[in-house]
A = this chain, B = another copy of it.
Amino acid sequence: MPDEHSRTVFFISDGTGITAETLGHSLLTQFDRIPFRQVRIPFVTTPAQAQDCLLQIQDAARRDGARPIVITTLVDASIGRQLREADALFVDFFETFIAPLEEELGARSSLTIGRSHGQAGSQDYLNRIEAVNFALAHDDGSSDRNLDKAEVILIGVSRSGKTPTSLYLAMQFGIRAANYPLIPEDFERQQLPEALKQRRGKLYGLTIAPERLQQIRSERRPGSHYASLANCRFEIEAAQTLMRREGVHWLDSTTKSIEEIAATIMHDAALDRHIF
C-alpha cells in the first residue's frame, strides 16, 4: 500500500468540470491529512486534448512516485478510454451511476455534453437573474420597495453574513432574499426597524460568535470601536435579546459555511428552490 505522501488529483471534464470538482472535493475533504496537489482540466473534447491530459497524468505519477487520482465527469466515452491508458485511480461519476439508473428506469440516458438547463433566456436563467437583482436591490435595508415580494428577510448585526447568504440563496436556489441590518439605534429603541414589524413571519436572524465577528470586522476597519471585541459582544447580545423578544428564529453562523447557512434557512423556513 502506498503511504501518505503528496498525491496529485486531476479533475477532468468535457464540460465545465464544476460537478467533478464539487463532488471530488467532498471526497477529498474526508482525507484531510493528505496533501493533495489539484489540477483542473475542463473542456476536454478532442483526442489531442485527451492525449495532453494523459501525458500530464503520467508525469504526475513519476513525480509523486504514486498513482494519481483522476476524477472525471466525461460524457464522451472515447475520451475516458484514452485517459485510462494511464496507471491511476479513476473515479467517474457518470460511468458508475448511469448504468444502474438506465436499468432501473428502463430508459437510455441522453448522455450529451453541456446540457444547460439554466441558459440565458430560459426560465431558470430569468428566475436566477430576478432573484439576484432582488437581493442586490434589497441589500442592507437599502429599499423597502417590493419588500413584500421577499420570501425571506435576513436580519443581523453588520458583518454577520447577511449579504453573501442572500446572494447565495438567490444564485443557487432562485430565492428572493432581502436583508436588513440591526443597528445600535434599534438596540436603543429595543424594537425592530419599522419596515420589518409587519413582516415578522418572513424574518430569519443570523448571529455569530463575538470573537469571529471581531476578526471579520477587523479585516475592514482594524483598530476601530466598530471592530472591538467589547462592541461586537454588545451588539450581538443586544441583537439576540431583540430577536428573542420578537420571536425571530435565528441560527449561529460561526462554524458554518455559506452553503450550510443557506441550506439550513431553506429547511427551517420551508422554502422551495426555484432553480435546479
Q: Roughly how many angstroms separate A118 CA and B165 CA in the complex, as a whole number?
A: 13
Residue on B nearest A68 in the bound complex, by CB: B104
A29-B117 contact, Cβ under 8 Å, with A96-B96, A106-B4? yes
Given contacts A105-B4, A132-B167, A255-B119, contact A15 B260 (CB under 8 A): yes
CB-based contact B25/A276 at 8 Å: yes
| Total copies of the chain | 2
Size category of the A interface is 35 or more
Shortest Cβ distance from residue A1 to the other chain B in the assembled complex, whole angstroms: 4
- Of A43, A130, A164, the most chain B CB neighbours within 10 A belong to A164
Once A30-B98, A255-B119 are accepted as A-B contacts, the answer to whether A132 and B215 lie under 8 Å apart by CB is no
Chain A 15-40, CB within 8 Å of chain B: the 1/0 string? 11111001101110111111000100
Cβ-defined contact, A89 with B98, below 8 A: no
A198 interface contact, C-beta 8 A: no
The answer to whether A260 touches B116 (Cβ under 8 A) is: yes
CB distance from A204 to the nearest CB of B (A): 16
**In the bound complex, do residue B126 and residue A216 qualify as a contact, i.e. CB atoms below 8 Å apart?**
yes
Residues of B within 8 A of A256 (CB): 114, 116, 119-120
Question: Are the CB atoms of A19 and B26 closer together than 8 Å?
Answer: yes
Interface flag for A264 (CB, 8 Å): yes
With A and B bound together, what is the CA distance between A132 and B136 in angstroms?
12
The verdict on A193 contacting chain B, using a C-beta distance below 8 Å, is no
Q: Which residues of B contact A115 (CB under 8 A)?
A: 29-30, 32
Q: Mark A252-270, 1 if CB is under 8 A from B, else 0.
A: 0111111110111001000
Task: List A residues 108-132 near B (Cβ within 8 Å).
Answer: 109-112, 114-121, 124-126, 128-130, 132
A19 with B22: CB separation less than 8 A: yes
The complex places the Cα of A254 from the Cα of B118 at a distance, in Å, of 10
Q: In chain B, what residue has the closest Cβ to A108?
A: B31
For residue A73, CB closer than 8 A to chain B, the reply is yes
Contacting pair A260 B109 (CB below 8 A) = no
Q: Are A104 and B23 in contact, with the CB atoms below 8 A? A: no
Q: Which residues of A contact B (CB under 8 A)?
A: 1-4, 7, 15-19, 22-23, 25-27, 29-34, 38, 42-43, 67, 69, 73, 89, 91, 93-94, 96-98, 100-101, 103-107, 109-112, 114-121, 124-126, 128-130, 132-133, 136, 139, 161, 163-164, 167-168, 171-172, 208, 211-212, 215-216, 219, 253-260, 262-264, 267, 276
Inter-chain pairs besides A4-B106, A29-B117, A132-B167, 15 sampled, C-beta below 8 Å: A2-B106, A16-B262, A19-B22, A22-B23, A23-B97, A25-B276, A26-B73, A27-B94, A31-B105, A34-B105, A43-B267, A117-B257, A118-B257, A120-B208, A129-B216
